[in-house]
Structure 1
């Protein structure tokens, strides 16, 4: 029997959670410890200057979401006064534009989230939960090849300011990014974590850090003000529920879009016998791509009430799109995920994001702040047009699945617009195809967006030819890629045995903790 399991994007992130479970903490203690450790071990993907969502299931209770994602500022300064500029991130087989600068900062929720989760769900003192991250930051973390690869992708952001470069620079050559194997020490971040233990979240939202960050925004072209930080609150919501072939799926509800889009896509796929199509065959890919295409069509539909994504699951909407789905099938985006289960039946799915970071580092803390106002997928109406004082809608969708045999699946993903396609394919691999956990997470994925069908290898040449008859633009990637998300996943069977699978695309690690 296991005492729990954790799957995360870095060995040290996973080990921080495992250490807390061994010390008698529950899944929520473990996920908070892993959250803070990720800010040290995965500093591009997780930051105290960002935000995220926790989908928490206390044993024998209904799943609930803690929304501590970023909030738009209460006032919007004129565009011509704003520090807001584009950079290109190079994924190798594709590139993506992001925007950075002080004008890209939205009100961060990460620190508030840590303390809200601790207050409501945890049993160990906050000092014990932050200690692994503080120790790591002070002693240093070895740069992994995966993390070094991420740094290379967003190098323009890491070179945007001297302070940003200093966080990621080679200790022996401060004008260069650190190579794999370099020992990265973060003394300012260690001190910041210690200050949070002593002073609590008020240092970030009302105290010294708040005053410094908002003064820099006022002087340098940002929107953030003191009242934005002081007014920030973590929101708690019941999880969005849907059924898929006898499984109960719980995910992130509105105002975020990701969970409802996953539910809608799964509802479309339910009209197709995916298991009979042959995994990875042209018909199987057609079905997945068609469902994604129709989901994007709904998202772009001007007549649809985008403030209420749950309406996508209404019977009339589904009937209309399922008809289009059957017709279609007849043709032959810095985020990280932490999943934890404990021996008591508690489940925690935590998805974190800093965007890619805006280039601004809060002085004296080692905290790179988010660039959420510069993320295209959370600004669907265009940049500088965001509604003021509004929780930003996200594609992040921490998800729990209760299978018909009593097994629970804890999952979620990183990957910008690829989050929902990664999660739904993990679910489909488990439910439709009957794959075991590790192959369900590692199996090649597809993603349809902007008229382009992206395929992870391997893909047979004959299948590509068949797909080209239906899809105008088909791209087979040269190798598996972080582009397709990172769905670190844990599974707990009806007997309470837990095991995890890290997504190999994003350096995934799983640790199973024995009694």
Structure 2
């Protein structure tokens, strides 16, 4: 890699990417850039992430160490009678699909973003936190211009944003939601970030912020206690590692599900010479949909009930378990052999790489007074609680579909990617990896080509694919839902690529107004 190349960052907003790029210009590394981007995104992408949420950071160091920082949300340590809990449904309308979520103080899980940010930076960063926080402080006080995508996000989350007086004030002007060209400010968040820089994460988990949150939680129908906050810990895990066509896939391990399910689907695709298909042809789309269908079947066969067992990934990805699903894929393929969240990816010139996915869910509709921080609704997402609401195990890390991922070639990061998008995270990442490795697409094309998502006998298709004339043959009598435009429903895979000649390139997903910053 040329010495003059300091790095590249792909993110969901130009200002998020610029915050990370500035750290690289100041002599920081990929982890300084990731920390700055994470803080900045709470201002630039306020509907997608928050210091009141959680996430994961997959780190690859220049010394070739791989670490998964799990700072996702945790279930509370105690329950209360359901009738005493503030917990109610809202509908989020994507335009072509409508999804139900639940909000209220009873939907808030123990947040991990603040702890994760500080632990990752303490372990791997180089610049002082005061420097890392500066872009976010500037954006929060000077304001950030609202673009089309954020205005769209404000609109679809309208019932949640306007439920919360504090956030409603920030997201409206003269009673109307902010529109493209308006500026978004969050001065309370700036003051909170300054406090965190001075006092560290304990200001959030043990200080006045914690006491204000817990007081409201206990009196207004939430679950959180001071003990929940004080006992929260970031977990450093060994990533899940597997192979795909001569490369090494590094991703999020159990108890989260997304990484393991991506690995399973890629293992199925590895049985087929995917490059022999015409991209977007009926045969190619049927193959992808079948891999998604079979992965869902395999997951339904006891995977979720065993998610906390130490050998769950090994057993799930074992050849004997894969075999019967691979055989079904081969029969369908007709050959003799054979998925609200934001993400950013960083590679620096030293060989460090960071893939970070962070989320606030859709937001709970509650903001800690005076902080500018809306809390998550992770206890109110059905995708995260297949056993039903209010049935979660006490004091347990919530399983997630978030799957920050890297593809290594010869032990070095070649592809750094991840996505937002709930259950569509894993299918979005799967398709981008296949586009790059199987079809050898340039990174911009690989990320921004149309996608599909198959789930529960429904095939969602982005424009650009030909819809078969005989629907009953494509596939398995699925209902076909054609979309008129590329949409955030299908994820947001912001990706950085290290080319064989050492050049760094990347692609921001247009579905979520992605942007790439290259630092020479």
TM-score range, shorter chain: over 0.9
Please report how far the alpha carbon of residue 106 of structure 1 lies from its aligned counterpart in structure 2 after TM superposition: 0.3
- Look up the match of 2:491: 485
Q: Matched residues in 2 for 1:502 and 1:119: separation?
A: 28
Q: Matched residues in 2 for 1:17 and 1:164: separation?
A: 26
Please report how far the alpha carbon of residue 405 of structure 1 lies from its aligned counterpart in structure 2 after TM superposition: 11
Alignment of 1:359-508 (within 5 A): 359-403=365-409, 408-462=414-468, 465=471, 467-468=473-474, 470-508=476-514
Kindly indicate whether the alpha-carbon contact (under 8 Å) linking 2:254 and 2:307 is maintained by their aligned counterparts in 1.
no
Is 1:343 aligned to 2:332, yes or no?
no
| Residues 420-429 or 158-167, more deviating | 158-167
Please report how far the alpha carbon of residue 438 of structure 1 lies from its aligned counterpart in structure 2 after TM superposition: 0.6
Query: Deviation string for 1:243-288 (max 9, x for gaps)?
Result: 0111110000011000000000100111111111210001100111
Query: Deviation string for 1:6-62 (max 9, x for gaps)?
Result: 000001000000011000000000000000000000011110000100000001323
Query: Deviation string for 1:463-513 (max 9, x for gaps)?
Result: 675854643311111111000000000011244321111001000000111
Unaligned runs of 5+ in 2: none
Is 1:105 aligned to 2:108, yes or no?
yes
- Look up the match of 2:361: 355
Please report how far the alpha carbon of residue 454 of structure 1 lies from its aligned counterpart in structure 2 after TM superposition: 0.8
Q: Matched residues in 2 for 1:302 and 1:255: separation?
A: 14
Q: Matched residues in 2 for 1:161 and 1:336: separation?
A: 22
- Look up the match of 2:517: 511
Please report how far the alpha carbon of residue 151 of structure 1 lies from its aligned counterpart in structure 2 after TM superposition: 1.0
Kindly indicate whether the alpha-carbon contact (under 8 Å) linking 2:289 and 2:475 is maintained by their aligned counterparts in 1.
no
Task: Label 1:241 to 1:425 Cα distance change in 2 as closer, same or farther (>3 A).
Answer: same
- Look up the match of 1:227: 227
Q: Matched residues in 1 for 2:478 and 2:508: separation?
A: 34
Q: Which runs of 4+ in 1 moved over 6 A?
A: 404-407
- Look up the match of 2:208: 208
Q: Matched residues in 2 for 1:334 and 1:459: separation?
A: 26
- Look up the match of 1:159: 162
Alignment of 1:292-307 (within 5 A): 292-302=292-302, 305-307=306-308
The SS at the match of 2:250 is strand
Query: Deviation string for 1:209-264 (max 9, x for gaps)?
Result: 00000110000000000000000000001110010111110000011000000000
Q: Matched residues in 2 for 1:19 and 1:179: separation?
A: 28
- TM-score using structure 2 length: 0.95
Kindly indicate whether the alpha-carbon contact (under 8 Å) linking 1:82 and 1:102 is maintained by their aligned counterparts in 2.
yes
Query: Deviation string for 1:144-191 (max 9, x for gaps)?
Result: 111000111111111112222112112xx0x22111111111110111
Equivalent in 53, 62, 73 of residue 65 of structure 2: 62
- Look up the match of 1:84: 87
Query: Deviation string for 1:180-208 (max 9, x for gaps)?
Result: 11111111011111111111111110110
Task: Label 1:27 to 1:275 Cα distance change in 2 as closer, same or farther (>3 A).
Answer: same
The SS at the match of 2:485 is coil
| Residues 309-318 or 379-388, more deviating | 309-318
Q: Matched residues in 2 for 1:469 and 1:118: separation?
A: 47
Q: Matched residues in 2 for 1:462 and 1:384: separation?
A: 42
Kindly indicate whether the alpha-carbon contact (under 8 Å) linking 1:400 and 1:411 is maintained by their aligned counterparts in 2.
yes
Q: Matched residues in 1 for 2:353 and 2:71: separation?
A: 18
Task: Label 1:457 to 1:233 Cα distance change in 2 as closer, same or farther (>3 A).
Answer: same
Is 1:321 aligned to 2:362, yes or no?
no
Q: CA RMSD in A?
A: 1.6
- TM-score using structure 1 length: 0.96
Count of residue correspondences: 510
Q: Matched residues in 1 for 2:211 and 2:189: separation?
A: 18
Unaligned runs of 5+ in 1: none
Q: Matched residues in 1 for 2:26 and 2:470: separation?
A: 51
The SS at the match of 1:21 is helix
